Amino acid sequence: MYAGKAVNKPLEPADYDKLPFLNAVIKETLRLYTSIHTLTRHVNADEVIPLAYPVTLEDGSKTTTLPVQKGERLLLSFRTYNRQHQRADYSRLRAVWGDDAAEWNPNRFLDGRPINSSIGLFGNVMNFSSGVRSCLGWKFAVVEMQVVTALLVKTFETSAIPSAKVKMLPNQFFLMPVLEGKEDEGPQVHLQFKVID
């Protein structure tokens, strides 16, 4: 059985939502490896933005608001919201995702733990932004990920090539996995595929 259907029967788009582990894997992968890590917004009027958690400023003082002026540009980090960066103590993100915020753990979407925020469109991740200016194609993107992931898992057994060292290319607009020492060859991930009989 595959989402309540025989394995040889095709799934309808609504069937993919009935696959909780598949969706947990997709949500967790989006959370930890967001493809676009920053959103830019231009400030249209002077404003004071309230912050959910206090922030320590360079002079050591703390603030719970952020004043912005018309004409300034805001860079909003999806990556910072979605995960805890290893080089900094973003304890506020542990408050959202739990103490294992820096680890890949799809069970966080299955084990009933509370996720202490609700701003993302899918799985509470910010990959598609939020609110009235969110990504129009988010649902199509999610269905596409569900279909491709389900077909790959149903059709192939995959394993990483142990000798391949994959790293993320830094300072790019898109998150791009590259092979260490072969960065100039562009994005790639080395996997072995074996057809499931």
Annotated binding site for heme, which residues?
Answer: 135
Beta bridge partners of 65: 50
Segments in 17-98 forming alpha helices (H): 20-32, 78-82, 91-97
Closest alpha carbon to 81 in 130, 136, 125 = 125
Q: Which residues are known binding-site members?
A: 135
Residue spans of beta strands (DSSP E) within the chain: 38-42, 47-56, 62-68, 73-77, 156-160, 166-168, 177-179, 191-195
